[in-house]
Amino acid sequence: MYQTTIAKPVELVGIGLHKGNPVRLRLEPLEANSGIVFYRSDMRVAIPLKPENVIDTKMATVIGKEGHVISTIEHLLSAVYAYGIDNLRIIVDADEIPVMDGSSASFCMLLDEAGTVALDASKRIMRIKKEITVQEGDKYVKLSPSPELTYDFTIKFQHPVIDEQKYVVHLSKESYKKEIARARTFGFLNEVQYLRSKGLALGGSLENAVVLDDKKVLNPEGLRFVDEFVRHKVLDAIGDMSLLGMNFIGNYEAFAGSHDLNHKLTLALLADAQSYDIVEFIGSEAKEMAKAYA
């Protein structure tokens, strides 16, 4: 099983969620063992995708270097991770990834347009060997050993449309595109109004987020899935876990997880060398694993 990158450069233009300005996003191939590297073309600063480069996790996952940041990276990375892409240059001319429709569907279409190619280097996958949990109050995120990659997420909101939702997905490229990619980010009207008073969420609208008031969904078209809210939380978690630097095999479980807890989970895992090992699959085992990204 070999490392991959995209077959050709591709790009799109979309609106940034917080500033509301157009952002040009370009994806370019990278050679083996390069990893995922972000590049601010307006500042000429490269920011490798590493846990130590995460500088904020309050509203989104934000990476930075030398005072320059790139925000809201998790939706794009979620698609990249689900497609099993190991090496990629992500170029933006602003400080955030375009929000598109609030899901990762546009990024999946971009990756489909780019295609993938195998490189002359073995793919490395992290295998979870023991349970790692990060908990704050009743909220927690957890990794545990499993022969396959599974995301198991539960949310609970005091809202009549959401209440308690649970979703489990056995992750593959196919299941991601069918079950997860179209799930949009969501927020509450009073939160949106507060953020805008602080100069944030200026690009947010009913075209790129599910917005709720105290009783109902305000988007005229309604929801894409009855449980779209928890599916989007899975989407976010997949993107956040890409900070490990490679795909992993194991079970991810969360109750009311967040970008912050996910970041702390990656740090806790990487700090404990006994909790994982790095494997390279060969032969029939590799063929089975490769099917997940076909």
pLDDT tens digit string along 22-38?
Answer: 999 999 999 999 999 99
Give the residue extent of every domain in the chain: 2-123, 125-279
CB 17 within 8 A of CB 9: no
What positions carry a catalytic annotation? Answer: 259
CA distances (Å), 81 to each of 11, 115, 155, in order?
Answer: 18, 14, 23
36-90 per-position pLDDT tens digit: 999 999 999 999 999 999 999 998 999 999 999 999 999 999 999 999 999 999 9
Mean pLDDT of 260-288: 90
Query: Which superfamily does 2-123 belong to?
Result: lpxc deacetylase, domain 1 (3.30.230.20)
CATH number of 125-279: 3.30.1700.10
Write the pLDDT tens digit of every residue in 128-181. Answer: 999 999 999 999 999 999 999 999 999 999 999 999 999 999 999 999 999 999
